[in-house]
Structure 1
Amino acid sequence: MDLDLKGRRALVTGGSKGIGRAVALGLAAEGCDVAICARDAQGVAAAVAELQATGVNAVGASLDVGERAALERFIATAAEALGGLDILVCNASAFAEGSGEEAFRAAFEIDLLHTRNACEAALPWLERSGAGSIIAISSISGVEDYGYDSVSYGTLKAALFFYVKSLARHVAPRGVRANVVSPGTTLFAGGFWDRVRLNDPASFEANVAANPMGRMGRPEEIADAVVFLASPRASFISGTNLTVDGTLTMRVQA
């Protein structure tokens, strides 16, 4: 299926590794020019080089998405460098752990507020696209309780559902769609579950066994869902939350 993405322009926050990098590469594979940002300058440089090697125009910057002015500057600079903006993927996360105020503040500023700020900064460009699409990366932790250690992370990931649903209805008349993708447990080198695998094998195996599929997801499997939702092929899908978890969650999504 041709996703009609060739020549479109995308921006991915948190795009230097894991799901974000897989999303950027997935978009590039479909012919999109891509801009990425993340805090790790070396990781950004390596990811940009990998994207450029696919033959697309790719740019990147090292920044903290919690700093609104820096984020807004990057979005404007990237959109100008790419000649516009059609797709925004808000993937950056604080991965906050615990129930303390600092954890809640980090999750609010990075997971939720950065998404809001990025959307506001990108909307003028997305409205000019004619096929503007916003994807926010949430988590199954936003719909199921996985313990008090993840309460800050889950609370703010849940907040993304309401924000994006409201945003989708607001921007629909302006030709822009907005959706959420909620990954389940996802394994990649250097990621959270890879660290659990190395440091707490029993917990890792228990989490693998909890999924009827008997495994965790791969970043590319999450990315495929994001790329489809971002594309014009999903032109009548907006305001939804797509769970990509291999049947790990037990809730019935009605």
Structure 2
Amino acid sequence: MDLQLAGRKALVTGGTKGIGRAIVEALVGEGVAVAFCARTEADVKEAEQTLRGRGAEVSGTVLDVADGAALTNWVGTAAGQLGGIDIAVANVSALAAAPGEENWRASFEVDVLHAVRLVEAALPHLERSDAASIVTISSVSGREIDFAAGPYGTMKGALVHYTHGLAVQLAPKGIRANSVSPGNVYFDGGFWQSVEQNNPELYEHALGLNPTGRMGDPEETAYAVVMLASPRARRISGTNLVVDGALTRGVQL
């Protein structure tokens, strides 16, 4: 099926590793021009060079999304380079699950406020698109109480609420907004690999909760994001798409 994404322009935060990298690769695979950002210069250069070597139209920028002014400037610069914005994906997370005021602040600044700033900066450009889409990356920890029920889960829940509000507020302008909530996602250098190496008891417990017998991979979440970003999903707005292999038990009504 043609997802009607060829020629579209997208922004992705945190586009060098894990879910973010998979989102960038999936979008460029559909013919989308993508501007992405991440904090580590070496990772940005590697991702940009690798993807350009495959013929992708990508542009990477070194950026800490907690820096509001820098994030806003990046959106404006990227929009100019791309010639507009059709899709904005707020992917970055502080992954601050432990208690403590520092983690609450980091979760708010990175998981929530960066999404707000990204959307506000991108809105003037999205309003000029004929198929504008916003996708935020939340988590199953935002809809159920689990080991990350502190700052991480709370802010991920807030992100779903924020995104649904955007869907209602922006519907008259033809701009859609949806969130995607992955379950456990395993990849090299990722959170769950670190847990596997440093806290095997927690890893085995988490793995055992997955009915499929495995954790997810980044590409599975990326598919959900790309599908929601597609103009073919023009009637889907305000949803929280759970991508967890039946991990969560709560019924989403």
Q: For the superposition of Structure 1 and Structure 2, which TM-score range results when normalised by the shorter chain?
A: over 0.9
Show the 5 A alignment for 1:68-79: 68-79=68-79
Separation (CA, whole Å) in 1 of partners of 2:168 and 2:201:
44
Moved more, 110-119 or 43-52: 43-52
8 Å contact kept, 1:87–1:134: yes
Show the 5 A alignment for 1:48-197: 48-147=48-147, 150-197=149-196
8 Å contact kept, 1:98–1:150: no
Task: Give the structure 2 partner of residue 3 of structure 1.
Answer: 3
Separation (CA, whole Å) in 2 of partners of 1:8 and 1:109:
29
- Cα drift, residue 162 of structure 1: 1.1
Deviations 1:59-113 (A, max 9, x none): 1111110111100110111111111111000001111122211111100000000
8 Å contact kept, 1:66–1:109: yes
Separation (CA, whole Å) in 1 of partners of 2:49 and 2:171:
35
Paired residue secondary structure (2:187): coil
Moved more, 196-205 or 243-252: 196-205
Moved more, 128-137 or 203-212: 203-212
User: Within the alignment, does 1:249 sit opposite 2:248 as a pair?
Assistant: yes
Moved more, 108-117 or 199-208: 199-208
TM-score for both structures, normalised by structure 2: 0.98
Q: Give the paired residue count.
A: 253
Unaligned runs of 5+ in 2: none
8 Å contact kept, 1:185–1:245: yes
What is the one-letter code of the residue matched to 1:156? M
- Cα drift, residue 53 of structure 1: 2.4
TM-score for both structures, normalised by structure 1: 0.97
8 Å contact kept, 1:133–1:230: yes
8 Å contact kept, 1:187–1:218: yes
Separation (CA, whole Å) in 2 of partners of 1:95 and 1:253:
24
Deviations 1:210-237 (A, max 9, x none): 1110000000000000000001011100
Separation (CA, whole Å) in 2 of partners of 1:30 and 1:213:
29
Task: Give the structure 2 partner of residue 236 of structure 1.
Answer: 235
- Cα drift, residue 150 of structure 1: 4.2
Report the aligned-residue RMSD. Answer: 1.0
Paired residue secondary structure (2:128): helix
- Pair 1:152–1:121, CA change in 2 (3 A): same
Separation (CA, whole Å) in 2 of partners of 1:67 and 1:30:
31
8 Å contact kept, 1:99–1:150: no
Paired residue secondary structure (1:181): strand
Task: Give the structure 1 partner of residue 39 of structure 2.
Answer: 39
Task: Tell me which stretches of 4 or more aligned residues in structure 1 moved more than 3 Å.
Answer: none
- Cα drift, residue 52 of structure 1: 1.5
- Cα drift, residue 55 of structure 1: 1.8
What is the one-letter code of the residue matched to 2:23? V
Unaligned runs of 5+ in 1: none
- Cα drift, residue 153 of structure 1: 0.3
